Structure 1
Amino acid sequence: MSSVRLDVRTREPFADGHRFAGGGAYEVITATAHYSVDPEASAHRSIADLDLAPRDSDGAVRFSGDVEILRPVGGGRRRLFFDWGNRGNKRAVQYFCDAPHTNRPQTLADAGNGYLLRRGYTVVFGAWQGDLLPGDGRLLLDLPVATRGTEPVRALTTAEFIVDELTRSLPLSRWTSTRSSPVSERGVRTARLTRRRYPHSEPEELPQETWQFARLQGGGSDLRGSSVAVVPSRHDLLIDDGFRPGWIHELTYEAEEPLVLGLGLAAVRDLVSHLRHDPAQPVGEINYAYGWGRSQTGRAIRDFIHLGFNEDTEGRPVFDGLLPHVSGAGRLVAERFTNLTVPGGQQYEDHLAAADAFPFAYAESVDHLTGRRDAIMKRASDPKVLHTQTSTEYWQRRGSLTHTTTDGRDLGFPPNVRGYLWSSSQHVADPAAGAPTKGICNHLGNVVATSALFRAVLEALDAWVSEGVEPPPSAVPTVADGTLVTMEEWSRQFPAVPSALRPYGPNELYAVDRSAVPPVADTSGRYTVLVPAVDIDGNETAGVRAPMVSVPLGTYTGWNTRAPGQGHGALHEFSGSTFPFAATEDERLFTGDPRPSVASRYGDAAGYVARIRAAAEDLATRRLLLDEDVERAAREATDWSAPRHDVELP
């Protein structure tokens, strides 16, 4: 028993009825999806606490969520493209069309270069994350709370807080966009709060009289709101002297009222199946279904496959192809009191998050610490997958484990998977990025432009599914050819770039005892995490090199280090770095830079643009770039790729 009823709320022309070449006119459909799930079905055994969800008179668990659709009025190419909205935000049009981010696409400007619409895709945005709060146009999923009869479900949980500047109160979720798991009455009395300088530092406990479950209210500029009040709250934490910037604060408390978060995967399965097979659905005939998610939602895709959700309740495949991007080796792991907004574990932040759990690889492998055998891909219903990741995932998200054994030997991918490293790029690469800044890091952010690669990957997936045309071969670093190396080898390769504070190492991964609260790492059992090798400029040698990396104006890394006072020296979140080359040989000599200058490499701006065009044409020949993006690459390279780069030659 599993069904969907889709109530359409509005249908409006998109972009005033503009006709996209190849795709025609589009309309925007908003709807509410009503879901009904059989909690006894074997397909739902992986959903934590589903047995504790309220049931209706038929024994079903019901819930609902937002759906929005960009639909080609003339039917398009009968291809559905599902955007696993990152934290409830629409991202596909932004990244595939180089468009400004908006959760309410309405105008022609919101379509960017129009790629998805010119290609006639039916773009579907469906809510899957159940712990989000309303605001900013986020897609919401209304999920049931697990209960034991009339009693709430309670258990110990942890929440980690790191702030960039002095802050007195925060929601227990740490994110204003996200529902907090409320503290129980007993938890108010028994909770413990600690702070530590680095993840492995000895924590110091904060006396209970110095903090409380409360929030600050007021502090505004007008007369009525200028004063400040402390309001008791089961959803917030207040420290009298404030959260110390850059320190790791960890709260352990008894929480209650957990949401049945795993139903989000069932929602995606049932919505897409409904749109493909139900004659009453509002989008017209669909021949193929693809899905894309980045970071958090890339992890959701990997869990979706691993847990068998790509087969609907009637045994039919749901997606023909999926595109998980920058997930690293992580999965979603929606357990009791999971905060789905929290990123996967990083070296400094959320270090022991549950996101990284065996299996890491798509191909079958053995956990050398436990002897367990498993794989992400193991069912006849599995889709074709093109897994893409950046340098950051190798440094922060244990990305090497997607294609190596747990003890660091080459494993590769199964036949229905390809993997691509987008060399020397960082986790987030805004298509509209401006000049880089440092933020709370030691170095300028990574400026490599990679959005064009999204379009090529989708074209390759579509050709693979619909025409049987093999995609470009996997392009990832390997141990065998010396392009996937240990930290020690990488340190020998990386040049002596002036002012570069190198990382201590990649984010390590240990076996973790998750029965303990907070979780405890077993440092006697470590998984092997490797990083891509680099050339004499410090740029990565393996993978797919975007034109800016093939023809560099600097060294681009997937890592950046925290500045003094912010966890100095540790890797910062998902940030990369740019270390510009000296503009001239005179500058290079004065700064002691071992890397050749811009002038000695390219001569002038025209020489640089010509080299960029040649690199783009080479990618297009290998089907890693669309022909239309060759021209874009050359056009954007004028004036030395400003504003991403600032090169001034005499």
Structure 2
Amino acid sequence: MQKLNSDPDAQVVLHDVRVGSFAEGHAFGPGRLYEIVNASAQVTVDPVAPRHHCVLDLANAQRDEDGKVRCRTDVMILRPEDHSKGNGCVLFEFVNRGNKRFLQFFNDGFPTNEPVSSAHAGNGFLMEQGFTIVIVAWQADVLPGNGRICIDVPPIVIDELSPQQTIRCEFIADMKGVTCLPLSGKPGTRSYPAVSLDTRAALLRRRRYPSSEPERIAPDTWQFARVEGGTGLGAGDVSAGEQAIVASRSHVYLPGGFEPGWIYELVYTATAPIALDMGFLAVREVMSFLRYDTGAGNPLAARLPKHAIAWGRSQSGRAIRDFVYRGFNDAGDGRRVFDGVLPHVSGAGKTLFHRFANMVIPASRQYEDWLNPADRFPFSYASSVDHITGVQDAILTRPATDPLVIHTQTGSEYWYRRGSLVHTDTRGNDLVQPDTVRIYFWSSSQHWSDPRPAKPGRGPCENFQNIVSTVAFFRATLLLMQRWITDGIAPPPSRIPKRADATLVPFDAWRAAFPAIPGVKLPYSPNVLPYVDYGPELALGGPIAEPPIVSDTQIYAVLVPATDIDGNDVAGLRAPMVEAPLGTYTGWNIRLRGHGHGALHDFSGSYLPFPETVEEAGITGDPRAPITARYGSAQGYAEAIRGAALALIQDGLLLSADVERITAQAAGYGEVNHVHQMPGQ
């Protein structure tokens, strides 16, 4: 056990410290070996101290005999064995649902929650640069398993009783045969148990589309229960295929099965909330110690980090925006926790902390979880006025402790996650961002881009999944932020679509200009954002009123990027695959019949292959120029990709080391991840 500090308002104690080698002792540069430190940190705070007033529901969290509130969190550090060989900068990953992904996205490494090997290290980028990586678990409803990093927080108690609240949860099954689901919707996520097993005291219903009239499911046709057994293992053993239906306050059981693609919603009285917001507190306190405490208990005390950068994607990108907005970046004494932050694909959202929040649920999309209130004003880093409520606000309101920001987002965020509101006001007018902010739109790419390219699938979608590779942008963006912090060299100006030059447009204008590609269905709209009244409790960190009130007339402007004659986005930071395309790459995809036909699917984008030859274009009536007319040969395509990559290097938006990787991936008309069968192949 190691005591990390003696602050009377917040103390951190490190337990079970384990140090091991990384990547089989491989050296990332001359003498630069890395080691992993895994530990468990106990954070103890005074719940009435002024510095903790930003922590929701802390006053109602269970206290120890000294009147303090405690939580325990997993900590992982990947550091140079020789501290002098580090670059003095911490890269902190806000993990997404407990999953460690820093090596996957920055190093092209094999995805894992237990990084130890050379395969996990990938191309070694972070280690060659000398970064120290730190992870502190923050999401308290993530359950252990699959190597996830977790945090344990105390329960909420009021008058020594666990609070109760009517809440709503939503389920969508993508395949037939699903009969049982945890109330959280995910096996790896903690559920709020039902107060009663009596289904008459709850409401289960389903609807075809979010706006459809719901169909009630009779209470005698479903149960609060879980399914056990039925594995089919053990040939010849009659009991191997047995199933048991066991009463469970944390599961819903529908014997006939959930119909794929339908939206099911359960309204029930829940209990046993926990102090979720202590996750942000744990990040603040542990990171503050690692940066500033010179005591022997600090694993980084041999060479205190000079700087720290936070990175997170999707849900954890929203967490970064919320962490900054709510003042957690103040270490408690006016110093910053993070000097710079890199929220990726967060859209215009923040996290959702209230007493019965489900943190794992993705933010609102057009079809799924549409009423999730993660997208609430303010949306932009710049100050603006909410034209519906009259409130003026911004993500950045604390100049003394606000970090530098490089916000990155894909085409999907404009269609699903109201991404235009990151850089417009609520009526859709361009906003001038603070000098401390850069926003880069990764044109014509989708929310999820696999760092390890493979042939695209469709899933429950009309079109192939978007396969634009953007992984190299992560590395360049990190170094842009590092130079901004350490040397004061500002990154290139933001690259975003704008109303002023008609590269950011209303949906009707987008639809009128999009090419008429044979057989391709277009979206009926992006994910619009009406004003929703969730009740006064939400603003205070309390539970959401059920049901919320959705306005039919008060709407926040949601705009989308304008496209060129091929249907690819005009503005933004265009990856080489977009600058030299083999198809139309969009931020949207359409659900198949039987899966919410016609609505946008999750966060998916599309890949719509170009015609391969002049003959094909003539037969199909495709207005887009064929591949052979564009590039002439596979070598011509590879040269176009290489030229696009070299152009990005000039602005520091791509690293020279990535040019050869990108060019190699283009071989044979990008046969690794495209679907073309070109003449001569």
What TM-score does the superposition give when structure 1 sets the normalisation length? 0.98
Asked whether the 8 Å contact 1:22–1:120 carries over to 2, the reply is no
Q: Does 1:541 align with 2:570?
A: yes
SS at match of 2:179: strand
CA shift in 2, pair 1:47/1:518, >3 Å: farther
- Most deviating of 434-443 and 278-287: 278-287
Shift of 1:543: 0.4
Q: Does 1:79 align with 2:89?
A: yes
Q: Which amino acid aligns with 1:407?
A: R
Could you say which residue in structure 2 is the equivalent of 1:210? Answer: 221
Q: Where does structure 1 differ by over 4 angstroms across 4 or more consecutive aligned residues?
A: 186-189
Shift of 1:43: 3.4
Q: Does 1:4 align with 2:12?
A: yes
Could you say which residue in structure 2 is the equivalent of 1:647? Answer: 676
SS at match of 1:555: strand
1:276 alignment partner, one of 288, 291, 312:
291
SS at match of 1:67: strand
Shift of 1:462: 0.4
Could you say which residue in structure 1 is the equivalent of 2:538? Answer: none
Shift of 1:569: 0.6
Question: C-alpha separation between the residues in 2 aligned to 1:240 and 1:636?
Answer: 48
Question: C-alpha separation between the residues in 1 aligned to 2:128 and 2:548?
Answer: 48
Could you say which residue in structure 1 is the equivalent of 2:662? Answer: 633
| Unpaired segments ≥5 residues, structure 2 | 1-8, 536-544
- Most deviating of 141-150 and 360-369: 141-150
Question: C-alpha separation between the residues in 2 aligned to 1:228 and 1:646?
Answer: 43
Could you say which residue in structure 1 is the equivalent of 2:155? Answer: 145
Identity of aligned residues (%): 49
Asked whether the 8 Å contact 2:199–2:219 carries over to 1, the reply is no
SS at match of 2:318: helix
Q: Does 1:575 align with 2:604?
A: yes
Q: Does 1:511 align with 2:519?
A: no
Q: Which amino acid aligns with 1:243?
A: F
Asked whether the 8 Å contact 1:23–1:119 carries over to 2, the reply is no
Asked whether the 8 Å contact 2:197–2:224 carries over to 1, the reply is no
Question: C-alpha separation between the residues in 2 aligned to 1:120 and 1:46?
Answer: 34
SS at match of 1:152: coil
| Unpaired segments ≥5 residues, structure 1 | none
Q: Does 1:457 align with 2:477?
A: yes
1:403 alignment partner, one of 420, 423, 426:
423
Shift of 1:8: 4.5
Could you say which residue in structure 1 is the equivalent of 2:308? Answer: 289
What TM-score does the superposition give when structure 2 sets the normalisation length? 0.94
Asked whether the 8 Å contact 1:2–1:313 carries over to 2, the reply is no
Could you say which residue in structure 1 is the equivalent of 2:257? Answer: 242
Q: Which amino acid aligns with 1:125?
A: I
Q: Which amino acid aligns with 1:39?
A: P
Question: C-alpha separation between the residues in 2 aligned to 1:42 and 1:190?
Answer: 41
Could you say which residue in structure 2 is the equivalent of 1:61? Answer: 69
Question: C-alpha separation between the residues in 1 aligned to 2:283 and 2:456?
Answer: 36
2:186 alignment partner, one of 175, 179, 185:
175
Could you say which residue in structure 1 is the equivalent of 2:6? Answer: none
SS at match of 1:388: strand
Asked whether the 8 Å contact 1:494–1:536 carries over to 2, the reply is yes
- Most deviating of 551-560 and 50-59: 50-59
Asked whether the 8 Å contact 1:47–1:260 carries over to 2, the reply is no
Question: C-alpha separation between the residues in 2 aligned to 1:502 and 1:3?
Answer: 55
1:134 alignment partner, one of 128, 138, 144:
144
Question: C-alpha separation between the residues in 1 aligned to 2:393 and 2:31?
Answer: 42
Asked whether the 8 Å contact 2:665–2:672 carries over to 1, the reply is no
Superposition pairs of residues 17-28 of structure 1, within 5 angstroms? 17-21=25-29, 24-28=32-36
Question: C-alpha separation between the residues in 2 aligned to 1:160 and 1:520?
Answer: 17
Could you say which residue in structure 1 is the equivalent of 2:5? Answer: none
Question: C-alpha separation between the residues in 2 aligned to 1:648 and 1:104?
Answer: 39
What CA deviation, in whole Å up to 9, does each residue of 1:96-153 have, x standing for no partner? 1111100011111111111111101101121110001111000010011101133111
Shift of 1:361: 0.6
SS at match of 1:240: coil
Question: C-alpha separation between the residues in 2 aligned to 1:433 and 1:157?
Answer: 40
Shift of 1:188: 4.9
Shift of 1:46: 3.5
Asked whether the 8 Å contact 2:468–2:577 carries over to 1, the reply is yes
CA shift in 2, pair 1:43/1:398, >3 Å: farther
Q: How many residues align?
A: 650
Asked whether the 8 Å contact 2:510–2:560 carries over to 1, the reply is yes
Question: C-alpha separation between the residues in 2 aligned to 1:513 and 1:150?
Answer: 31
Could you say which residue in structure 1 is the equivalent of 2:388? Answer: 369
Asked whether the 8 Å contact 2:107–2:121 carries over to 1, the reply is yes
Could you say which residue in structure 2 is the equivalent of 1:585? Answer: 614
Superposition pairs of residues 357-506 of structure 1, within 5 angstroms? 357-379=376-398, 380-506=400-526
Shift of 1:60: 1.7
Asked whether the 8 Å contact 1:423–1:545 carries over to 2, the reply is yes
